[in-house]
C-alpha cells in the first residue's frame, strides 16, 4: 500500500488537531456518563451484535468464544471490576447525580488540546499491537517517557495496572481499606507514571477516609486539585471524607 506523501500527512495531522473535544467538555461528559452508568442507566437505543467476525482470532479469542471459556475468562479477567461496578450500578437508592441530562445537550466546542495531556488523560496506546498512535495531531503529540521503574516491573501493558487498581477498589468496597492501601502502594511502585494515576489517587483518598485518616486524605485531595482541578474526579475529590448519608 502506497503511503501518503509527507505533505498530505501534515495536512491530515493538522486537520485532526482541529477535531477534538475540549478538555472541559470531555471532563463534563465523562462526569455525566459515569454518573449515569453508576445509576444503572442503560442506553436508550438497542445495540445489536458487535464485531461479528474479527479478522484475526487470537487464542484468547478462541477461548473467549467457547461457551465455558467466556465464563472462565470473564471471571478471571474482569470479574473484580465488573462485579464491583454492577453491584454498585444496581444499588437503586441513590440520589440523582448532580450533572443533569440538560447539560448534555449543550453543543461541544472542541478546541485544540493543550500541548501536554493531564495525567488522567493519557494518549491511547491500548491495543497498540494493531494500531499506530491514534492522536497524531502534529503539535499535540505527547511523548510517553519511560520512567525509571523498579526491578519488579514485569508487565508492559496497562492491564497489570487495571488489575491492581481494580483489586484495590474491590478490597475497599468489601471493607478492607488496609488491603486496598497495600494494593495501591504496589500499583504506585510498579507503575509510577501509569495511565491510571488519577484513579489510583482518588481510590487512595477514599481508603484513607475509610480508615479515619481524614487529614491525610484531605491533604492528598488538595494536592490532587492543585495539580488537576479539571479532572473528571474533581467533585468527588473536593468532597472526600464528607459523611455518607445512611439510610435504614
Q: Provide the grid cell at 229.
A: 482541578
Nearer of residues 56 and 152 to other proteins, judged by Cβ: 56
Residue closer to other proteins (CB basis): 1 or 151: 1
Span from 18-26, 144-152, 222-230 in contact with other proteins (CB under 8 A)? 18-26
Q: Apex CA 15: angle with CA 12 and CA 19, to 5°?
A: 130
CA dist., res. 247 & res. 117, Å (int): 41
70: left (phi over 0), alpha (psi -120 to 50) or beta: alpha
Residues 223-242 that bind other proteins (CB under 8 A): 232-233, 235-236, 239-240, 242
Does 2 help bind other proteins (rule: CB under 8 A)? yes
Q: Which stretch binds other proteins (CB under 8 A): 127-135, 142-150, 222-230?
A: 127-135
Query: How far is the CA of 175 from the CAs of 118, 162, 182, in angstroms?
Result: 31, 20, 14
DSSP result, 106-162: SPP---PPPSS--TTSPPP-TTTTT---S---TTT----------TT----STHHHH
> Which CB, 151 or 174, lies closer to other proteins?
174
Q: Does 183 bind other proteins (CB under 8 A)?
A: no
Pairwise CA distance, residues 60 & 142, whole Å: 31
179 lies in the site for other proteins, by CB under 8 A: no
Does 106 participate in binding other proteins (rule CB under 8 A)? yes
Asked whether position 15 contacts other proteins by CB under 8 A, the answer is yes
Nearer to other proteins, 44 or 143 (CB): 44
- Say whether residue 124 binds other proteins (CB under 8 A): yes
- Say if residue 209 is exposed, middle or buried (CB neighbours under 10 Å; 0-12, 13-18, 19+): buried
Taking CB under 8 A as the rule, which mask of x and - marks residues 63-82 in contact with other proteins?
-x--------xx--xx--xx
What angle do the packed helices 159-173 and 177-190 form, to 10 degrees?
Answer: 170
> What mask, x for binding other proteins by CB under 8 A, covers residues 129 to 168?
xxxxxxxx--x------------------x---x--xx--
Amino acid at each position: 500500500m502506497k503511503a501518503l506523501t509527507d505533505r498530505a500527512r501534515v495536512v491530515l495531522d493538522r486537520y485532526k488537531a482541529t477535531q477534538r473535544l475540549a478538555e472541559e467538555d470531555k471532563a463534563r461528559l465523562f462526569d455525566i456518563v459515569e454518573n449515569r452508568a453508576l445509576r444503572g442507566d442503560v442506553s436508550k437505543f438497542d445495540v445489536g451484535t458487535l464485531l461479528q467476525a474479527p479478522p484475526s482470532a487470537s487464542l484468547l479469542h478462541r477461548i473467549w468464544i467457547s461457551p465455558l471459556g467466556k465464563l472462565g475468562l470473564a471471571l478471571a479477567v474482569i470479574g473484580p471490576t465488573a462485579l464491583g461496578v454492577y453491584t454498585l450500578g444496581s444499588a437503586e437508592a441513590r440520589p440523582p447525580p448532580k450533572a443533569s441530562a440538560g447539560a448534555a445537550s449543550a453543543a461541544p466546542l472542541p478546541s485544540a488540546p493543550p500541548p501536554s495531556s493531564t495525567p488522567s488523560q493519557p494518549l491511547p496506546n491500548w491495543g497498540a499491537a494493531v494500531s499506530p498512535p491514534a492522536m497524531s495531531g502534529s503539535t499535540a503529540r505527547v511523548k510517553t517517557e519511560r520512567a525509571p521503574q523498579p526491578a519488579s516491573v514485569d508487565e508492559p501493558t496497562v492491564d497489570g495496572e487495571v488489575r491492581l487498581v481494580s483489586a484495590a477498589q474491590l478490597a475497599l468496597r468489601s471493607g478492607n481499606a488496609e488491603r486496598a492501601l497495600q494494593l495501591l502502594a504496589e500499583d504506585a511502585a510498579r507503575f509510577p507514571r501509569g495511565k491510571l494515576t488519577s484513579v489510583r489517587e482518588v481510590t487512595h483518598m477514599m481508603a484513607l477516609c475509610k480508615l479515619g485518616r481524614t487529614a491525610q486524605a484531605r491533604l492528598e485531595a488538595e494536592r490532587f486539585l492543585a495539580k488537576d482541578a479539571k479532572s473528571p474526579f474533581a467533585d468527588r475529590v473536593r468532597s472526600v471524607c464528607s459523611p455518607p448519608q445512611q439510610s435504614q
